[in-house]
């Protein structure tokens, strides 16, 4: 919403100046000029943002850098999703811990991480994703710079390395990490796919709470409403006392209670 208002105001200002310089322009040019200026400002903003992210250091970000980049990501995603007709709503926000955590959620769409980051404002969050996403030119490089992590479930050694690195980001860098324990998008409906319990090892290694959430999409006349529901929080003591299979079973049970 912030970028929408900013870009709309700048576009209006630019059109007003153009009319002042060219008084011969007729009134029906106003809307096309405003829309063209709005799109141009948006494109320039995205290009500048991409270039700035490509120059981010490969090392873990400082708290200041992390705060600035994640706020920019939130504002940008909120604007992009709004332009695409997506509206995000969060239920149970008050349950979220005021410290880094592992977020586990069902996986319905490629938009899930985008909607989650846009919805959970003031939370510095990265996601564990499939390696293929990181092979996309430019986008893959930016995701690496932002500390998003690829996980290859077919390679046990690489998967363990990713899990350890994710725990390090939570414990030492104060980032929240999001995972989809189903491992892939679920296109069958609200019935969950089998969970990969090993993903819950991140929380045990990091000594952090686990936030269980569900996401669902509801069609709207302008697009879609995205409902992100925080359904459960497993505190550190519970995480430490139970194995990954138990943690996985509880998370799946809580999700099913909300989805079914």
d(C-alpha 178, C-alpha 124), whole Å: 11
C-alpha 48 chain-centroid distance:
20
Using the structure block, give the residue that is written with the tokens 């980049």: 69
Q: Torsions phi, psi of 209, nearest 5?
A: -75, 160
Closest CA to 213 of 143, 75, 129, 108: 108
d(C-alpha 61, C-alpha 245), whole Å: 33
Task: Render the burial of 215-253: b for 16+ CB within 10 Å, e for the rest.
Answer: bbbeeeeeebebbbbbbbbbebeebeebebeebbebbbe
Using the structure block, give the residue that is written with the tokens 């992009």: 80
DSSP letter for each residue of 39-66: HHHHHHHHHHHHHHHHTS-SSPPPHHHH
Token pair listed for 251:
């998370």
pLDDT of residue 156: 67
Closest CA to 125 of 164, 151, 97, 153: 97
pLDDT of residue 214: 95
Q: Using one digit for the tens of pLDDT, what is the confidence trace for 109-157? A: 888 999 999 999 888 999 998 888 888 888 888 888 888 998 877 776 7
| CA distances for 205 relative to 30, 125, 188, 239, 258, angstroms | 58, 18, 32, 10, 28
Q: Block means of pLDDT (10 residues each) for the chain, length 260 residues?
A: 83 81 73 87 92 82 83 90 90 94 94 92 89 85 88 78 94 94 80 90 96 92 89 96 96 91
Say whether domain 86-259 belongs to CATH 3.40.1130.10: yes
d(C-alpha 89, C-alpha 225), whole Å: 7
Domain ranges of the chain: 86-259
Q: Torsions phi, psi of 170, nearest 5?
A: -70, -50
Token pair listed for 59:
């090392």
């Amino acid at each position: 919403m912030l970028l929408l208002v900013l870009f709309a105001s700048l576009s209006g200002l630019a059109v007003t100046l153009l009319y002042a310089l060219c008084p011969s322009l007729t009134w029906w040019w106003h809307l096309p000029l405003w829309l063209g200026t709005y799109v141009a400002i948006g494109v320039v903003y995205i290009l500048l943002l991409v270039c700035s992210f490509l120059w981010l250091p490969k090392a873990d970000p400082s708290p200041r850098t992390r705060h600035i980049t994640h706020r920019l990501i939130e504002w940008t995603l909120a604007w992009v999703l709004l332009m695409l007709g997506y509206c995000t709503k969060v239920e149970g926000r008050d349950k979220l811990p005021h410290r880094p955590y592992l977020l586990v959620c069902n996986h319905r769409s490629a938009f899930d991480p985008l909607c989650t980051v846009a919805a959970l404002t003031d939370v510095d969050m990265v996601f564990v994703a499939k390696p293929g996403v990181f092979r996309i030119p430019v986008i893959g490089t930016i995701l690496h710079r932002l500390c998003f992590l690829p996980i290859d479930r077919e390679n046990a050694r690489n998967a363990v390395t990713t899990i350890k690195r994710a725990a390090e980001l939570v414990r030492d860098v104060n980032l929240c990490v999001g995972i989809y324990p189903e491992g892939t998008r679920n296109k069958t409906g609200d019935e969950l796919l089998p969970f990969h319990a090993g993903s819950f090892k991140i929380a045990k290694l990091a000594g952090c709470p686990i936030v269980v959430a569900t996401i669902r999409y509801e069609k709207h006349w302008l697009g879609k409403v995205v409902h992100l529901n925080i359904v459960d929080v497993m505190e550190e003591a519970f995480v430490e006392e139970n194995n990954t299979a138990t943690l996985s079973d509880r998370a799946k049970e809580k999700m099913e209670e909300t989805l079914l």
